[in-house]
Amino acid sequence: MQKPRKVAEKVIANVEKVIVGKHDEVQLTLLALLCQGHLLIEDVPGVGKTMLAKSIARSIGCTFRRIQFTPDMLPSDVTGVSVFNQKTREFEFRPGPVMAQIVLTDEINRATPKTQSALLECMEERQVTVDGTTYPMARPFLILATQNPIEYEGTFPLPEAQLDRFMMRISLGYPSPEDEITMMDSQQYVHPIEEIGQVVDFEELLEAQETVKDIYIDDSIKEYIVAVVGETRKHPDVYLGASPRGSLALYKTSQARAALLGRDYVIPDDIKALGKVTLAHRLIISPSARIKNVDPKAVVEEIISSVPVPGARVRAR
């Protein structure tokens, strides 16, 4: 399991030249990359969401495009459009910015639901269909989406179908005072993003992604995952629980975490560590619980603490 670990460590070390004091969040981003999942970065402006996405893209030998979402965007502005060529008398497909390997969709919740839905097919099936013709996406294909959870004017909440397609949702938070001073010093003359380069070859990344799939998961761990996800569908404060896609997200990210930590097998601690970032954004809290400000992350944490861990025995009283 050395290949995924080495790839991740190279990229993390490179990204941390730009993103200071956020090791856990950078590590989670690499987990999404290793298990070929999409990532939603939700936080207030100015904490480094866009810089994280750009530094990840620069560290990997892949094509990179950025889409700045606005309310007046059309689906064709994302996927591409067929244009009539006067010389050949035929329609030619001009690919949109989503036809890249690493795609940063900045402020994704500023686009209308119609434009947001243009991402559904490419996120799940890794292909785009325009005018009846299907175009496959190049590997690896990763969408890093950012959104501001505070400003609601001029925004459109992401539909449940799209939220479910994000493998994880993370937030960066404000840096500590020491880290903030370090950021000031590092940007005195030039932004660090301008100085970092590629540290991982394209072939290395693909090989690491394939190696992660070989991580062993015992049947008892699989049952544990299903039990945790199943409890989200029964919880009294939850109107709609996590889908089977949530179980798969927890399954795959736990494999990537084990590989990143140098193990060739998954343990229950992997599931506990990844439960909130893989499941919380998939839960729809019931109206009565929403009035009481029930947090989906708190619901997932409560479930994980109550579901018996595989191999554990109840102590007799």
Q: Render pLDDT for 230-240 as a digit per residue (tens, 0 to 9).
A: 999 999 998 98
Which of 153, 65, 144 has the alpha carbon at shortest distance from 108?
Answer: 144
Place of tokens 């990204």: 15
Q: Residue 303: enclosing H or E segment and its boundaries?
A: helix 296-306
pLDDT at 100: 87
Residue 142's DSSP bridge partners are 102
What pLDDT was estimated at residue 8? 87
Q: What is the pLDDT of residue 131?
A: 81
**What gap in Å lies between CA 132 and CA 130, rounded to an integer?**
5
Q: Which of 297, 305, 310, 242 is nearest to 272 (CA)?
A: 305
- Domains of the chain, CATH where assigned: 1-214 (3.40.50.300), 215-307 (1.10.8.80)
- pLDDT value, residue 173: 82
Q: How many Å apart are CA 285 and CA 305, to the nearest integer?
A: 19
pLDDT tens track for 72-128 = 888 888 998 888 888 887 888 888 899 888 898 988 888 888 888 888 888 888 888
Helices (DSSP H) in 85-156: which residue ranges? Answer: 113-116, 120-125
pLDDT-flagged residues of the chain (< 50):
313-317
- The predicted structure's pLDDT at residue 300: 93
Element (H, E) at 9: helix 2-15
- List the one residue out of 31, 117, 29 whose CA is nearest residue 78: 117
Query: Residue 68: beta bridge partners?
Result: 106
pTM of the model: 0.87
Token code pair at residue 257: 């975490």
Rounded Cα distance, 258 and 265, in Å = 6
What token pair was written down for 160? 């449940």
